[in-house]
Amino acid sequence: MTALIMMAAADGPPATAGTELAGFLICCATGAAVITYGRMQRRSGRNMFLPDRPFRFGGVLHQPPPERRTRRAVGRFFEIVGWILVVIGIINGLVLL
């Protein structure tokens, strides 16, 4: 397995420091955004795009949807995925050292 990975890595051009830095920044920024979204959804039990208060749409006042346990579970899933992305970004950043 590692021989196959080494052969695949040897065929491509070598990664520059700029490419590694870009990968580090993109992974960490995406991870932070996903963690923030997951925390908001886990704490409120509502979707990020639906407000916590009544809103007016088309001249009608709509009540916010009730909290749901599935939203909290999905929020926790997003947090876990975000932390995985941050760890991957940190590992990519360690390659720069």
- Reported as a single tens digit per residue, the pLDDT across 23-63 is 888 989 999 999 998 988 888 777 766 656 777 778 888 77
Tell me how far apart the alpha carbons of residues 19 and 16 are, in angstroms, rounded to a whole number: 5
pTM to 2 decimal places:
0.69
Q: What percent of the chain has pLDDT over 70?
A: 77
Q: How would residue 1 be classed by pLDDT, with cut points 50, 70 and 90? A: very low
pLDDT at 50: 63
- List Cα–Cα distances, 20 to 38, 62, 74, in angstroms: 27, 48, 31
**C-alpha radius of gyration, the chain, whole number:** 20
Structural tokens at position 57: 């749409």
